[in-house]
Amino acid sequence: MKIICYLGTGGVGKTSVAAATALAVARTGKRSMVMTTDPSLRLRTALGLTDNITEQRVPLDDPKAGELWASLLNVRATLDEAVRLYAKNSTSDRILNHSIYATIAGSLAGMQELMAVERIDQLIQQGFDHIVIDTAPSRHALEILDKPELFANISGSRRVQLVGRTYQLAAGLGLTAIGRGAVDIVGRVESILGVHLVRQILDFYSLFYPIAEGYSKRAQKTVAMLRDPAVTEFRVVTTPQKALRDAAFFTDALNKRKFRIGAFCVNRAWLHPYPDTVPRGLAGEVLDWYKTVSDAHRKEIWKLKQGYAGQAREVQVFSELDQDVDGVRALEKLADQMHLQAPAGLA
Ligand SMILES: Nc1ncnc2c1ncn2[C@@H]1O[C@H](COP(=O)(O)OP(=O)(O)O)[C@@H](O)[C@H]1O
Ligand SMILES: [Mg+2]
């Protein structure tokens, strides 16, 4: 089981490099999945997909290749699936048809990261053993690590458990049967929200609680996998201009969370060979300008390697393509530049 999680600021090529990585893995004969948590749906363009299917196999020409799959995280579908998988038979329909479920499922902003972790677990159950994750830009990306742990802690809290569990026991007897501490909370909330809504919420909560509890156990397991360097590698995508700033930010952010960086991927580097003889006129000026930029890129990459050698296993460099990353052909050009012999990640 291998997971590669790409992080980076917006527009540096995370989605492109993530999709190329999944392609590189598929080319070794494996079954790989690239999943994006970015609602911008760039993955669809990067893979050259045209329709709206949120999860699909991407056709590859190479007969020796394994399978390349792409998934655009669908928060609602993931939550529905979790209910179907983990609610007891008798309660899954009650939950899915509950008015409160419609309300929370209709306002799932903020659930992206919680469901990303749930989806990783579902993909593993489906037998994908190489998962590449393309995260939403920068700050939010780290929430994939923070939120599930936070949620697991909240739903494990004694107060929350008290209300969830005692209500279930007391549902048939009326609210008065709930323990003292819970009645206090319920009373206070009722005075704000009204009795009807609070009872509906409690009714829903008592049905949903086992799923939330199960979620938090699965999330803990998945987060433990994300924390296990033998399973998961974090790679930071950046560009030559942003390399040092991004390296400082992500090294700090990941170290704080006790995660290590597997690789810095410097994308869009201008590294084409420079001719010995330079023509005169405009062509010469363009080449001179190219050389200036290219030298600056090389210098930044060198500084990154010097400054952050101890922070990541390696620095991978991807050159600027002569085209947009808009389909399998372009992804192949990026995949060709990828190190497949990386000890963790693609092995
Ligand atoms: N190596 C590259 N060469 C040329 N264009 C690239 C390269 N990498 C990315 N791009 C282009 O940069 C833009 C942003 O890429 P994308 O992968 O969506 O970045 P991100 O996911 O970080 O926002 C896209 O238009 C893509 O085609
Ligand atoms: Mg993207």
Ligand number with the minimum distance to the CA of 326:
1
216 has pLDDT over 90: no
DSSP codes of every residue in 241-288: TTHHHHHHHHHHHHHHTT--EEEEEEEEE--PPPPSS--SHHHHHHHH
The whole-model pTM stands at 0.84
Tokens of 122: 């579902």
Counting atoms of ligand 1 from 1, which one is nearest the CA of 10? 23
Question: How far apart are the C-alpha atoms of 119 and 73, rounded to whole Å?
Answer: 8
For atom 17 of ligand 1, the residue with the nearest CA is: 13
For atom 12 of ligand 1, the residue with the nearest CA is: 13
338 lines ligand 1 (CB under 6 A): no
> Does residue 310 fall inside a structural domain?
yes
> Does residue 114 fall inside a structural domain?
yes
Question: How far apart are the C-alpha atoms of 167 and 161, rounded to whole Å?
Answer: 10
For atom 5 of ligand 1, the residue with the nearest CA is: 324
**Which of 116, 71, 67 is CA-nearest to residue 215?**
116
167's enclosing H/E stretch is helix 158-170
CATH code, domain carrying 24? 3.40.50.300
> Does residue 262 fall inside a structural domain?
yes
> Does residue 175 fall inside a structural domain?
no
Question: How far apart are the C-alpha atoms of 140 and 152, rounded to whole Å?
Answer: 18
CB 40 within 8 A of CB 28: no
> Does residue 31 fall inside a structural domain?
yes
325 lines ligand 1 (CB under 6 A): yes
Residue type, 289: W
Helices vs. strands in the chain: H and E counts, helices first? 14, 8
Which residues on neighbouring strands pair with residue 315, listed in sequence order? 264
pLDDT value, residue 302: 97
Measured in Å, residue 9 CA sits from the centre of ligand 2 at 9
Of 43, 44, 325, the residue with max ligand 1 atoms within 8 A of its CB, to mutate for a pocket test, comes to: 325
CB 240 within 8 A of CB 300: yes
pLDDT value, residue 163: 55
8 lines ligand 1 (CB under 6 A): yes
SS3 317: strand
Least confidently predicted of 23-37, 131-145, 162-176: 162-176
For 39-84, write each residue's pLDDT tens digit. 777 888 898 887 766 789 999 998 899 999 999 888 888 888 888 8
Measured in Å, residue 147 CA sits from the centre of ligand 2 at 20
Structurally, the chain folds into a number of domains equal to 1
Measured in Å, residue 7 CA sits from the centre of ligand 2 at 9
For atom 25 of ligand 1, the residue with the nearest CA is: 324
Counting atoms of ligand 1 from 1, which one is nearest the CA of 333? 1
> Does residue 160 fall inside a structural domain?
no
Counting atoms of ligand 1 from 1, which one is nearest the CA of 11? 23
Crossing angle between the packed helical segments 75-86 and 89-96, to the nearest 10 degrees: 150
Q: What percent of the chain has pLDDT over 90?
A: 44
268 lines ligand 1 (CB under 6 A): yes
How wide is the angle at C-alpha 83 spanned by C-alphas 77 and 89, nearest 5°? 135
| pLDDT mean across residues, the chain | 83
Mean pLDDT of the region 135-143: 68
Question: How far apart are the C-alpha atoms of 238 and 236, rounded to whole Å?
Answer: 6
Question: How far apart are the C-alpha atoms of 47 and 213, rounded to whole Å?
Answer: 36
Burial of residue 133 (CB within 10 Å: 0-12, 13-18, 19+) is buried
Counting atoms of ligand 1 from 1, which one is nearest the CA of 19? 17
For 276-297, write each residue's pLDDT tens digit. 888 889 989 999 999 999 999 9
Q: Determine the distance from the C-alpha atom of residue 100 to the mean position of all C-alpha atoms in its chain, rounded to a whole number.
A: 27
For atom 15 of ligand 1, the residue with the nearest CA is: 13
10 lines ligand 1 (CB under 6 A): yes
pLDDT band for 264, please (50, 70, 90 cuts): very high
Of 15, 16, 35, the residue with max ligand 1 atoms within 8 A of its CB, to mutate for a pocket test, comes to: 16
For 151-163, write each residue's pLDDT tens digit. 666 555 555 555 5
Crossing angle between the packed helical segments 143-155 and 158-170, to the nearest 10 degrees: 50
Tokens of 126: 């489906």
Mean pLDDT of the region 190-207: 72
Ligand number with the minimum distance to the CA of 266:
1
Which domain covers residue 59, as residue numbers?
Answer: 2-75+109-154+223-335
Question: How far apart are the C-alpha atoms of 335 and 288, rounded to whole Å?
Answer: 29
Mean pLDDT of the region 113-124: 87
Question: How far apart are the C-alpha atoms of 287 and 279, rounded to whole Å?
Answer: 9
Measured in Å, residue 265 CA sits from the centre of ligand 1 at 13
> Does residue 331 fall inside a structural domain?
yes
Measured in Å, residue 15 CA sits from the centre of ligand 1 at 7
Burial of residue 243 (CB within 10 Å: 0-12, 13-18, 19+) is buried
For 299-339, write each residue's pLDDT tens digit. 999 999 999 989 999 999 999 999 999 999 999 999 999 87
> Does residue 33 fall inside a structural domain?
yes
